[in-house]
Copies of this chain bind each other. A is one copy, B any other.
């Protein structure tokens, strides 16, 4: 069945409130999860809810953390998420970094003791709305190895960069520094399909096409992606005291994550009137899109453009929730104490609609 943006927002906020998240935090996480589904990034949408609840049950995700700003120094701040949701942490740190950026031109926030920060492009969209240039990165579960190595020590370590625009869609880059995510390999494994040799190495560090033997994800562009991932580790963890390398917990083992993040907001209006910046960015986008195309290419896309179009489409059509996911979420809610007679996904939507 299909659900609207408003329905998903209420559903997620409701479930998280039932799971003892404070209303404000539940709302924040709901925004990010719904953004994820409605931009087509299903891996970080509704399908993540079960993981979050399991983490709470295992005591490795704190739904009511004592979020603290542990350093606040001119342009810089460090936050401690008290092992709560990284989504809440990054959004709260963002609020403070934004004030700093407005005051000094740039604001930098880094954080420790956070679980996963969710869909990275959300923060890029948020910054674009605030007319800020944004650079964000975070370390994640260590599913990749140092280049030439065989041990899991580095995450998929995403990099998000966003640029506000005028009439064109804001540019929002959101990439991981590995060729694929572990979830994609697991999907191939479930279907018994071989994976391309460039996706992962086995336990001994050799490239493998056997999804069941995939152990460490391959970085993008060989040593270059490895180098970028190392720098994401450094920026995200070394200033904040977050865990890195083999110290990061594994979700599959329900260990505490303690990942870190690094956020920079930069105010382009300190350089020129914002309208002028918009025009420069718009002109760039139009120039790139006007390039001659390669055979078979209908259109050149800018970073984040496809997600914007997907969002526009899904706001009209709603998103499809598979029967499997409907059942999973209904079961999840029963576990949280939602009455057993709320026994269909439609009833669950109605339950939280009220």
Residues of A within 8 A of B (CB): 71, 73-76, 78, 104-106, 108, 110, 133, 145-151, 153-154, 159, 161, 163, 171, 173, 175, 179, 201, 204-206, 220-221, 224-228, 230-231, 233-235, 237-241, 244-246, 264, 266, 268, 270-272, 277, 280-281, 284, 287-289, 291-295, 297, 299-303
Contacts and interface: CB of A to CB of B under 8 A. Distances in A.
Contacts of A246: 287
Nearest to A267: B76
Residue from A206, A271, A281, A292 with most neighbouring chain B CB atoms (10 Å): A271
A227 B291 contact: no
A300 B110 CA distance: 28
Contacts of A288: 146, 149, 153-154, 230, 245
Contacts of A287: 153, 244-246
Contact of A75 (B106, B159, B220, B293): B106
A293 B74 contact: no
17 contacts: A73-B105, A104-B104, A105-B108, A133-B234, A148-B299, A149-B291, A150-B294, A161-B227, A161-B235, A171-B234, A173-B227, A173-B230, A179-B221, A205-B292, A221-B221, A238-B277, A239-B277
Contact of A74 (B76, B105, B175, B240): B105
A205 B294 CA distance: 4
A272 to B, nearest CB: 8
Contacts of A270: 73-74, 76
B171 A230 contact: yes
Nearest to A268: B239
A148 B303 contact: no
Nearest to A106: B75
A224 B175 contact: yes
Contacts of A235: 133, 161
B76 A105 contact: yes
Contacts of A291: 145-146, 149-151, 153
A146 B264 CA distance: 26
Contacts of A268: 238-239
A239 B300 CA distance: 24
B148 A300 contact: yes
A231 B302 CA distance: 10
Contacts of A271: 71, 76, 78, 110, 239-240
Residue from A154, A163, A235, A294 with most neighbouring chain B CB atoms (10 Å): A294
A148 B233 CA distance: 31
A284 B204 contact: no
Contact of A233 (B240, B277, B284, B289): B284
Nearest to A230: B303
A303 B238 contact: no
A49 to B, nearest CB: 28
Given A75-B105, A153-B287, A173-B227, 12 more contacts: A73-B105, A76-B270, A105-B108, A148-B297, A151-B292, A153-B291, A161-B235, A173-B228, A233-B284, A238-B280, A238-B281, A244-B287
